[in-house]
Amino acid sequence: MNIQSEPQDSGVCGSLPGCALTTSPLDGPLPPVLRWKQGHQAFHLLLIVMTSLLEESCILLKREDWNSLLDRLQQLVVLYDAATACMRYAADFPSSEYERVVRPSMMPPAIRPGFSGMLNRDHEQMLRTLRKFKAKIAILDASTCSSVANRSAVAEVINAWGQVRASQRRNRRAHSHVCSELVIDGGSLLQKFYQERAVMSELRSHLGG
């Protein structure tokens, strides 16, 4: 049986040097832009599920449905660790390839200036929902529960929330590591965009524009 490769990407990747998409695992390592895209696409799916679980967690906390809430928090731990794995997968290539191929795919003329994953609407929604849940669970206190059973259940929920926070810290550390390994100058595209815009604004003011 012949294994045929898929056609080259018709988007940004296909237009960049050294980024022809081969396609069977038998052909060797994935091209960096394809790996970068796949890792971020998988992360995006996880992000949507995280937001749903956090929204459910807010409702369950209000209802004091401790067993169901515990289940959602345990799922969140798995999802945050999965997101960390996606991040590591996406960035598993030399920093020279990031500068040569991947970073240009996130800059003009490929896309608008100032691109950043932090501007993703689904990511922002997840962060809003997370902040809302954090504010609610911060006042949860097992010692105020009316029964021993409730105290035990609430203690489990608080412990599970601690595990979620630990998985978030692992995710942030992994992201910092990826940035330090790939972004040699230490600056994000968004930071660079704002810096350049400030310089142009100052220049126009000096010229009377």
- In whole angstroms, what is the distance from residue 191 CA to residue 37 CA? 22
pLDDT digits (tens, 9 = 90+) for 157-186: 999 999 999 999 999 999 888 888 887 664
| Of residues 10, 18, 202, 12, the one with CA closest to residue 112 | 12
**Would you state the pLDDT for residue 123?**
87
Burial bucket for residue 3 (CB in 10 Å: 0-12, 13-18, 19+): exposed
The answer to whether the peptide bond before residue 104 is cis (omega within 30 degrees of 0) is no
Over residues 68-91, mean pLDDT: 96
pLDDT digits (tens, 9 = 90+) for 102-159: 887 777 666 666 555 556 788 889 999 999 999 999 999 877 776 767 889 999 999 9
Q: Does domain 27-206 have CATH number 1.20.58?
A: yes
Q: In this structure, what DSSP letter does residue 100 have? A: I
> Residues 182-187: contacts with CB within 8 Å, 24+ apart?
182/91, 182/95, 182/98, 182/102, 183/98, 184/95, 184/99
Concatenated DSSP letters for 136-189?
Answer: HHTT--GGG-SSHHHHHHHHHHHHHHHHHHHHHHHHHHHHHHHHHHH-TT---H
Task: Please tell me whether residue 120 adopts helix, strand or coil conformation.
Answer: coil
**Would you state the pLDDT for residue 121?**
85
Residue 79 in contact with residue 57, Cβ under 8 Å? no
pLDDT digits (tens, 9 = 90+) for 13-56: 333 333 333 444 445 567 899 999 999 899 999 999 999 999 99
Average pLDDT score, the chain: 76
Name the more confident of 37 and 10. 37
- Exposure string (b/e) for 5-36, b if CB count within 10 Å is 16 or more? eeeebeebbeebeebebebeeeeeebbbbbbb
Q: Is the pTM above the cut of 0.85?
A: no
**Would you state the pLDDT for residue 13?**
38
